[in-house]
Amino acid sequence: MDGIKAEITGEVFDGKKAEAMVKDLTASFKAGKTKPYEWRVSQLEGIVRMIMERETKIMEALQSDLAKPNMEVYLHEISLSKAACMFALKELKNWMQPEKVPSLIATFSSTAQIIPEPLGIVLVISAWNYPFALITDPLIGAVAAGNAVVLKPSEVAPSTAAFFAKFLPQYVDSSFIKVVEGAVPETTALLDQKWDKIFYTGSGKVGRIVMAAAAKHLTPVALELGGKCPVVFDSDVNLKVAVKRMAVGKWGCNNGQACIAPDYIITTKSFAPKLVDALKSTLEEFYGEDPLESADLSRIVSFSHFKRLTELLDEENIPEKIVYGGERDEKHLKIAPTVLLDVPCDSLIMKDEIFGPLLPIITVEKLEDSFELINSRPKPLVAYLFSKNKKLEEEFVQNVSAGGILINDAALHFTNPHLPFGGVGDSGIGAYHGKFSFDAFSHKKAVLSRGYATEMRIRARYPPYTYHKQILLRRIIDGSFIALFLGLFGLHRD
């Protein structure tokens, strides 16, 4: 079963097929083939070969699904996926090693360690906006941890889903790594099964559905959900550099269709005009006078998403807030980078995650007011601050709750495998990247081992619990070395 192509072949992937697939995977996993270091390495090496040998096909798929510029495909999908795989190959042996931990006086003459073991059969449900990287990254963590994996790519990016179904089995062990294409019925059939973990990337709405389905089987979940990522902009920055960094993090990340894309800016009333002018200049430099014709700007993924974004722009009193952009091309599903100033906080554009090229600016009297504004909303996946003020930076880090925080740049923290990537509250549960991906798909098994040498001497733990035994046990538990000495040599009364 190299890939289950429900839409292409016309076969129905229903609950019975899903149940049979999970049953087969479970039986195969129990045989232990995925646990050895050699199997894990062979899968990671296969993923690297696929990335290197099929780069052109990957770019073609993403061009078809999103009209994504090849440079963005390489930077954000191909190179990051390859780097993640190479990092796992380099570190895997260390990750798999048992972690020795101290023993206590109460368990004298023992060794203690934590052993990472694979969870078992895991399901990865991915998103459409980075359809290659958001499948590959959790796949790397899952196989590095020694699991069997079922991948469910997004039906909104059908070309990339077809790529995985066709090519992935040529490079990995398809008896343990499977791809299921399809839409809601196929995803529902998969969610009805019992998994050892579900990893979902997407919207909070669907995340709640995934979590409810997982709860029926007490299945642990990791949810990467996004949210409205705020940007606090100080007036003391190097304006030209700061705006370029912020702009490429917004529009250079899939034209704003990214969970870590800046969603709205908060700045002071006095600084807002300068910021708007800098944004206009930068966007014209990036995408020309007619951004709808730019080959460097991704299109909106579908008509329904295009319609949703235009409805945000067309809400009453919002068109007059547009200070740059606003152009749209329904035929080609393109919307120009759009900046809005002083939009009402109760408007539609400020309620839900935008996930597109629209960028509202909210003004406050002083930047410290932004902390309360951000914290009054659901916790974002990432919060950004552009400032040279170290005191403001410290206050921002201390007072703003978010999955992650980035100072004086946008989106770059995603590339560091030494940092956990994940949300908090409404923006997600759990984290991954680097060893955090390995940990996300591992169970940390506690192991304590004792010998028999001291058993004849330490009798106080056993009934009957006489007064003297109770005193001795209390002292041992409290860390009294004298009591331990007496217990070891039997110098106490029963």
Tens digits of residue pLDDT in 392-439:
999 999 999 999 999 999 999 999 999 999 999 999 999 999 999 999
Q: Where are the beta strands (DSSP E) in 414-481?
A: 428-429, 442-450
Confidence at residue 107, expressed as pLDDT on a 0 to 100 scale: 75
- Could you tell me the CATH number of the domain that includes residue 313? 3.40.309.10
259 is catalytic: yes
Q: What SS3 class is residue 17?
A: helix
348 with 373, same domain?
yes
Question: pLDDT category, 279, cuts 50, 70, 90?
Answer: very high
Question: pLDDT category, 333, cuts 50, 70, 90?
Answer: very high
Question: pLDDT category, 6, cuts 50, 70, 90?
Answer: very low
Residue 41 lies in a domain: yes
As a whole-number percent, the residues of the chain with pLDDT over 70 amount to 93
Residue 428 lies in a domain: no
Q: Note the pLDDT tens digit of each residue in 31-59.
A: 999 999 999 999 999 999 999 999 999 99
pLDDT (average), residues 60-87: 96
Q: What SS3 class is residue 9?
A: helix
Catalytic-labelled residue, pool 72, 253, 259, 353: 259
pLDDT (average), residues 94-116: 89
The phi and psi torsions of 484 (rounded to 5 degrees) equal -60, -45
304, HSE (Cβ side, Cα atoms, 13 Å):
1
Question: Per residue in 384-414, is it b (16+ CB within 10 Å) or e — as a string?
Answer: bbbbeeeebbeebeeebebbbbbbbebbebb
pLDDT (average), residues 6-35: 84
Q: What is the pTM of this model?
A: 0.92
Confidence at residue 4, expressed as pLDDT on a 0 to 100 scale: 46
43 with 168, same domain?
yes
215 with 241, same domain?
no
224 is catalytic: yes
The DSSP H or E segment spanning 206 is: helix 204-215
- pLDDT of residue 482 exceeding 70, the answer is no
Q: Note the pLDDT tens digit of each residue in 426-465.
A: 999 999 999 999 999 999 999 999 888 766 556 777 888 8
**Residue whose pair of structure tokens reads 């389905």 in the numeric block:** 213
The token duo for 483 is 């009591």
Confidence at residue 458, expressed as pLDDT on a 0 to 100 scale: 60
Do 266 and 364 touch, CB atoms closer than 8 A?
Answer: yes
Question: pLDDT category, 493, cuts 50, 70, 90?
Answer: very low
107 with 242, same domain?
no
Residue 212 lies in a domain: yes
Confidence at residue 1, expressed as pLDDT on a 0 to 100 scale: 35
Give me the number of domains the chain comprises. 3
Q: Note the pLDDT tens digit of each residue in 118-130.
A: 999 999 999 999 9
- Could you tell me the CATH number of the domain that includes residue 39? 3.40.605.10
The phi and psi torsions of 172 (rounded to 5 degrees) equal -130, 175
* Separation between Cα atoms, residue 34 and residue 38, nearest integer Å: 9
163 with 268, same domain?
no
211 with 246, same domain?
no
Q: Note the pLDDT tens digit of each residue in 79-100.
A: 999 999 999 999 999 999 999 9
Do 384 and 231 touch, CB atoms closer than 8 A?
Answer: yes
Burial class (CB in 10 A: 0-12, 13-18, 19+), 285: exposed
Q: Which domain holds residue 83?
A: 6-225+434-444
How open is the CA angle 414-418-419, to the nearest 5 degrees?
50
**pLDDT-wise least confident of 8-12, 36-40, 261-265, 380-384:** 8-12
195 with 275, same domain?
no
460 with 439, same domain?
no
94, HSE (Cβ side, Cα atoms, 13 Å):
7
Residue 423 lies in a domain: no
Residue 422 lies in a domain: no
Cα–Cα nearest to 64, from 163, 176, 138, 151:
163
Question: pLDDT category, 13, cuts 50, 70, 90?
Answer: confident
129 with 220, same domain?
yes
Do 145 and 442 touch, CB atoms closer than 8 A?
Answer: yes
Confidence at residue 316, expressed as pLDDT on a 0 to 100 scale: 93
51 with 153, same domain?
yes
pLDDT (average), residues 94-111: 87
Confidence at residue 461, expressed as pLDDT on a 0 to 100 scale: 76
Confidence at residue 455, expressed as pLDDT on a 0 to 100 scale: 63
Residue 429 lies in a domain: no
pLDDT (average), residues 365-378: 94
Catalytic-labelled residue, pool 224, 229, 253, 353: 224
339 with 483, same domain?
no
The token duo for 375 is 């914290």
328 with 384, same domain?
yes
Residue 316 lies in a domain: yes
Question: pLDDT category, 5, cuts 50, 70, 90?
Answer: very low
Q: Which residues contact 60 (CB under 8 A, 6 or more apart)?
A: 159
Cα–Cα nearest to 69, from 372, 297, 277, 357:
297
Residue 368 lies in a domain: yes
Q: What SS3 class is residue 116?
A: strand
Q: What SS3 class is residue 111?
A: strand
pLDDT (average), residues 67-76: 94
Confidence at residue 57, expressed as pLDDT on a 0 to 100 scale: 98
